[in-house]
Structure 1
Amino acid sequence: MSTLTGVVGLFRIKPATPVGEGGRMALADHFRELRARLLRSLLVFTVLLVVAFFFYDQLLALVMDPYNEARKALGESVQSEAYIRGAAGPLMLNLKLCATAALLVSSPYWLYQIWAFILPGLHPHEKRWTMVFVGTAGPLFLFGVLVGYYVLPKGLEVLIGFTPSGLANLIEFNEYYSFLIRMLLVFGIAFEIPLFVILLSLAGVVTGKQLGQYRSWIVIGTFIFAAVATPSTDPISMLFLAVPMTVLFLLSEIIARFIDRRRHRAAAATAGWDDDAASPL
C-alpha cells in the first residue's frame, strides 16, 4: 500500500505545504510539479503508443499515400519501388510510425502541461496574450501541415521523374520518411511566421508602417525562402508555400496597422498628463 501511495505521489502537482500568500510554492515543490507533469505526459504518450499499434496499417497507408499517388501519376514511364532495409527494419518502421502518431495526438496534452507549468508566473496581460498565441499557433501549424501533405505528391512526382530511362528508382523508407517529415515541418513552421510578426508588433519592435515600406522586399524574400526551404525542387510546392505565406503576411500587416492606431490613440489620450501629478480617484 505504501508503495502504491508513493507511486501516486509522483503524479501530485499541488504542494502538500504551500508557502506564502496565494499558495506559493518552494523551489523543491516546483521541481516536484515539473516531474509530475512530465510523468503525466509520458503516461499519456505510452497509452497512445499502445493504441497506435492497433492502427499501424492505417498509419502506414497515410504515410505512403503521397508516394503511391506520385508513382501512379508517373505511370510506366518510371520504375520506382519503396523498400525496407535490414532484418530489424519492419520492427523499427512499426515503432517509428506509432511513436510519431502518439507524439502528435498527445501534443495538446503535453503542450497544455508546459503551459500550465509556466502560467502561474505570468502577469494577467501576459496570460491573455499567451492564450491568444496558443489558440492561434496550433491551427496555423496544422493548416500548414495539411497544405504540405496536399502538395507532397506533386513534389515527389517531379523528383522521381528525373530518374533516367532504363534505371529503377529504389526509395529506402527511412529516407522517404525523413523527407516527408521535413516537408511537413517546413510548411507548418512557415505558416507561424505571420504570428510572430504580430507578436513583434505588439511588443513595439516593428510597426505596420515599417512593414508597408518593406512589403515588396518581404514578399520577394518570402518566395526565396519558399524556394530554399522546400525539400523538393518543383515550382508548385514553392508556390503552395509562398502564396499562403504572402497572404498571411498581408493580413499580419493589416493587424499591425490596427495595433499602431490603438497605440497612437492611447498615447494621444495621455499626452497632456504630467508624470508627477496625482491621478484623479
Structure 2
Amino acid sequence: MPLLDHLGELRRRLTIIIVSIIIGTAVFYFATPTIIDLLTDPIAPFVNDQFYIMSSLGGFSLRFSIAIKTAAVVCVPMILWQILGFFLPALKPNERRWVVPTLFLATALFFIGAVFCYLFIVPSAFEWLVGETNTIATAFADLENYLNTEVLLMIGFGIAFELPLFVFYLAVFHIVPYATFRGAWRYIYVAMAVIAATVTPDASPVTMLFMYAVLLSLYEVSLLVTRFVIIAREGKKGLKGSRVGFFAADEEA
C-alpha cells in the first residue's frame, strides 16, 4: 500500500485500541471496589488491614487509575492482535502461520508473569518494604501509593515474562544467531541485572533479586527450547545462524 494508506491503517488500529480501553475503563470503574480488595489482599497483613487515602480527590483518582490499568491489562490480547494485524500483510504465507501461536503465547506469558508477581513477589516485596519502614517509623499505608507500586510490579513482571518469546524468535529466525546468544552470556547477564534494577518501581533488593532470577531462568529456558527447535528443523548447523535456513525448512515442511 502507499504510505498514506499505511498511516490510515495504523490510525484505524490505534483508534480501536484507544476506544476499547476507554470502554473498558468505564466498565471497570464500577468494579474497582472488588478489584481493590483483591489487590490489597496480599499487602493487608503487613499494615494491619489499615489503608488510608490522603486527599479529597484521592478516592476518585485511585478508582479511575485502577480502572484504566485494569482495562489496559484485560485488552492485552486485543492490543497484541492489532499490532500483529498491522504487520500481517507484510509477512509471507509460511510466516503468517506463526501469528496466532505468537498471540496466544504472548498473552499467556504476560498473564502468567502478572499472576506470578501477585502470588509470590508482592507479599515478599511489601513485607520487606514495610519492615524497613517500621524500623524507623510507623508505616502509614497510603492506598494509592501502595496499589500503584503493586500494579507496576505486576505489569513489569508480565512484560518480563515475554522474554522467552523475543529470544526464541530472534534466534529461530536467525535475526540474532543462537551462537551469539550463547557466546555473549556474560554481557547478557550483566544487562539483565541492570534491567532488573531499573524496571522495579520499589527499588528494593528483594524485588530486584526476584526479577533478576526470573529473567535469568526465562532466558535459559528460552535458549534451551530454541536449541531443540533449531536442531529438529535444521540440524546443528542451524545453531551457527543462517537467515534463510529456518524459513526454508518451514517451506519444505
Residue number in structure 2 paired with 1:4 = none
Give the 3 Å change call, closer, same or farther, for CA 212–122 of structure 1 in structure 2.
closer
- Alignment counterpart, residue 186 of structure 1, candidates 139, 150, 156: 156
| 1:136 maps onto 2:112 in alignment | no
The question of whether the paired residues in 1 share the 8 Å contact of 2:50 and 2:141 is answered with yes
**Residue 85 of structure 1, aligned match among 54, 58, 69:** 54
Q: Deviations over 1:89-121 (max 9, x none)?
A: 111112111122222223322332333233223
User: What SS does the corresponding residue of 2:54 show, helix, strand or coil?
Assistant: coil
Of residues 56, 64, 71, the one that matches 2:40 is 64
Kindly provide the CA deviation profile for residues 156-179 of structure 1, in whole angstroms up to 9, marking residues without a partner as x.
011111124573222333332332
RMSD (CA atoms): 3.3
Paired-residue identity, % = 29
1:36 and 1:66 mapped to 2: Cα distance?
Answer: 40
Q: Distance in 1 between matches of 2:89 and 2:180?
A: 35
- Write out per-residue CA displacement over residues 210-263 of structure 1, whole angstroms, 9 at most, x where no aligned residue: 54555577567656754665435354x456444444443333222332344333
Answering whether residue 209 of structure 2 is matched by residue 233 of structure 1, we say no
Q: Is the 8 A contact 1:45 1:102 kept in 2?
A: yes
Change (3 A) 1:166 1:227: closer
Q: How do 1:267-278 and structure 2 match up within 5 A?
A: none
Query: For the residues of structure 2 that align with 1:209 and 1:266, how far apart are their CA atoms?
Result: 10
Which protein has the larger Cα radius of gyration, Structure 1 or Structure 2?
Answer: 1
Alignment-derived partner of residue 116 in structure 2: 147
Structure 2 CA distance, aligned partners of 1:114 and 1:87?
39
Q: Deviations over 1:56-108 (max 9, x none)?
A: 21011122222203335xxxxxxx95322322111111211112222222332
Q: Which runs of 5+ in 2 are unaligned?
A: 239-253
Consecutive unaligned residues of structure 1, counting only runs of 5 or more, are 1-24, 73-79, 268-281
Give the secondary structure class of the aligned counterpart of 2:225.
helix
The equivalent of 1:50 in structure 2 is 26
Corresponding position of 1:270: none
Distance 1:198 1:173, change over 3 A: same
Name the residue aligned to 1:11. none
Match of 1:158 among 125, 128, 133: 128
Deviation, structure 1 residue 123: 2.0
- Separation (CA, whole Å) in 2 of partners of 1:254 and 1:81: 46
- Equivalent residue, structure 2, for 1:109: 78
CA contact (8 A) 1:82 1:173 kept: yes
Higher helix share: 2
Superposed CA offset, 1:116-151 (max 9, x none): 233223222332333333222221121111111112
Q: Which residue of 1 aligns with 2:68?
A: 99
| Amino acid aligned to 1:181 | V
Q: CA distance change for structure 1 residues 156 and 232 in 2, over 3 Å: closer, same or farther?
A: farther
